[in-house]
Every structure is written in C-alpha cells, then in structure tokens.
Homo-oligomer: A and B are copies of this chain.
Amino acid sequence: MKKYLIITINLWLVSTHLMAQRPPRLSSPDVHVDHGITFRYYAPNAQEVMLHGEFLNEPMAMTKDDEGVWTVTVPPVQPDIYPYFFKEDGVQLADPNNPYIFANERFKRSMVEVPGDEPLMHSLQDVPHGKIHYRYYHSFTLDTTRQLLVYTPPGFDMQGGKKYPVLYLIHGGSDTEETWTKVGKAHLIADNLIAQGKAEPMLIVMPYGNVRPKPMPDFTKDVINDIIPFVEQNYPVIKDSRHRAVAGFSVGGGQTLNIGLTHTDMFAYVCSYAPYTATEEFKENFTEWSPDAKKMNEQLVLFTISVGTEDFLYESVKENIAMFTKKNIEVEPLIVSGGHTWMNCKLFLTNSLQQLFK
C-alpha cells in the first residue's frame, strides 16, 4: 500500500480556465409563502434581462442593482411546477443558480415549484415511495442500445410473486425519457395516488420516443417489438391487454394513438394528451380507416383524449375526437383550460392513473 504511482496520461489539450469563471451564488428562484416568486440573475454587463415563464402572460423586465444582479418578483401564482427562462440581451438561457432543469433536447429551461398550502398531487409527500430504474435495452428495430425509465411502485418486489400491470408513458416531441419524471413528476403522482388508494400499484415505463428522421412508424415497432418484450422479460408483469396501457403527450400523444389504436388487442387503455397528429403515420393509419368499432369498443376499457382549450392543438384535437366519434369509436374527452403545457400533463396523468386497471 506504499507504492507511489506516477501515471502520465497523454492529454493532448489540458485546460483549467473554466474554473475561475464562476459567477456569485444567488438564491433563485425564491418562492414566497404568498406564492409570489423572486428571480435573480448575475449579469453586470447586460443591457436588458427579461423573465419568460409559463406563469406569465408576457415576459417581465428584470432590474439591475449596483452589483450587477438582476431581480424581479412575480406576484402570486397558482401553485404548480412551471418552466421559465431568462433572456439576456436577446439570448435565452436557463437560470444558472437553479439545478432543476427541464429535460429537453431543444431548449434549456429551468423549473420552479410553487407548493400549495395543501400538498399537491405531484408534491413530495410523506408516503411510501417507489423507485425509478434507469435501464438500457437493445432496440433491434433501431439497431441501437437505448435508455428507458421504469417506475416501480412502493413495495415492489422483483421476485415476490406478485405481477403488475404496466403503463407505457411517452414524452413530447423534443423531450427525453426523463421528462415525465423530471418535469411531469409521474413517480410522485403515482406514489401519492397509490398511497391514497386511488390508483392501482403499477409499473410505468418511460421510453425515449424520438426516432429521427422518421419518428412514428419506427417508434411503434420499437415499442411493440423491443420495449414490451424487454419489460416483460425483465419485470413481473401481467401480459394481457387488460393490464397494459399506453399514454403520451403531444408528439407522444400522437404516438399513443398510432400505437394503441392499431393494437387494441394489446392495449385496453389508450390515453392521449394534446396529441400532435400531423404525421405520415397518423394519416396512413386513420385517413381511410374503417375500424370494426364494435370490436374495438369491447377491447378498449378506456380511450381518452385530453386537451386544454388554449392549447395550440385544440382545434386539431377536437377534429380528431370528432373523427373517432364519427367512426363510432367510444372516446372520452377531457377538456380543461390551459395550454400545451406540462402543468396540464400532470393533471391529465393524475386523471388517467385513477382510471387504469380497474
């Protein structure tokens, strides 16, 4: 144990210049007891810093103090979890002092949680907690190894003999396999609903839904041929349609319709949230579609489409609801206020989890 090792690693390029550049640590965001929020950002050389947030109708200007710290306090907002970002002289960026970041491929936004006076369904509460498993699986469809997340409920035992139903839950178009937990708090919503006896203990499988350049058909194959077999080989799950659900948001809501309604023998529960359906696969599946409605309605225990009235897809979603209704497919719409947001996603999931596997 006394040997002295000198290992020379031939690093071609070495630098430490990143170390010295850290700005001062600020408290941001500060959520107040009245549900107002103060944001702070250090930018001594900026001309203008704006706050953009999904709790605002329009951006708010921040003001600079003598130390170069920009501040703004937002009046009380509805308790929820919201995305926001700063815009410094036109440059969008996440809050450097806030580690809670939106899991997304195309933008960097921060998240702020405004707690309710009573705990909300997505809040971390003093109840038994499940686990989230980060796993790799091999997709033969896509010829690559991909990551997926598996929520297992409190008391889950891989070898305990009990078998579970499974919800396959798909993120939005530029999100990642982490967005449903990091932003949507799917695991905490499930923990809380299960603790209250309002949801059945279930697995929630959150795959990565983006497949470029042609997302839809390949992802359907990935789910059917790779993900479901992986889950069913590696977890104690019930392998029939009455114990299998699919749900998703936005592009994932469209994927949900494509996957679920073309496989009603496999999924008795299809929950589509603000679906984006302007895709080739949707067109191919549903334009000249002549479903056996009676059979499908028997197979589907729940087919729901949810959307907010301010969602930019609201008209399109209404048209799709009308289309399914016209084909005599029983669809249960859930129309709420709000836009194309993850605040609504949490609400939709809270609703669905109480309807599944009952």
A138-180 near B? 1/0 per residue, CB < 8 Å: 0000000100000000000111100000000000001010000
A94 and B78 contacting across the interface, CB-CB below 8 Å: no
- CB interface residues, A 319-358, toward B, < 8 Å: 330-340, 343, 347
A296-326 near B? 1/0 per residue, CB < 8 Å: 0100101100000011100000000000000
Is A11 an interface residue, CB under 8 A from the partner?
yes
A98-106, A257-265, A277-285: which lies at the interface: A98-106
B22 and A106 contacting across the interface, CB-CB below 8 Å: yes
Is A294 an interface residue, CB under 8 A from the partner?
no
* CB-based nearest B residue for A26: B106
Take A11-B78, A108-B96 as given contacts and tell me if A16 and B339 are in contact as well, using a CB distance cutoff of 8 Å. yes
Least Cβ distance of A321 to chain B in Å?
9
In the complex, the count of this chain's copies comes to 2
* CB-based nearest B residue for A321: B4
B78 and A332 contacting across the interface, CB-CB below 8 Å: no
Take A15-B56, A101-B101 as given contacts and tell me if A6 and B303 are in contact as well, using a CB distance cutoff of 8 Å. no
* CB-based nearest B residue for A332: B1
| CB neighbours of A58 from chain B (8 A) | 15, 17
B105 and A99 contacting across the interface, CB-CB below 8 Å: yes
| CB neighbours of A25 from chain B (8 A) | 106
- Give Cα distance in the complex from A38 to B300, angstroms: 49
- CB interface residues, A 78-132, toward B, < 8 Å: 78, 83, 88-94, 96-97, 99, 101, 103-108, 124, 126, 129, 131-132
A19 and B334 contacting across the interface, CB-CB below 8 Å: no
- Give Cα distance in the complex from A45 to B92, angstroms: 12
Q: A14-B57, A129-B135 are in contact. List 15 more A-B contacts (CB 8 A).
A: A1-B331, A7-B336, A13-B56, A14-B338, A16-B311, A16-B340, A17-B52, A17-B57, A17-B58, A88-B91, A91-B91, A99-B103, A99-B176, A132-B133, A158-B159
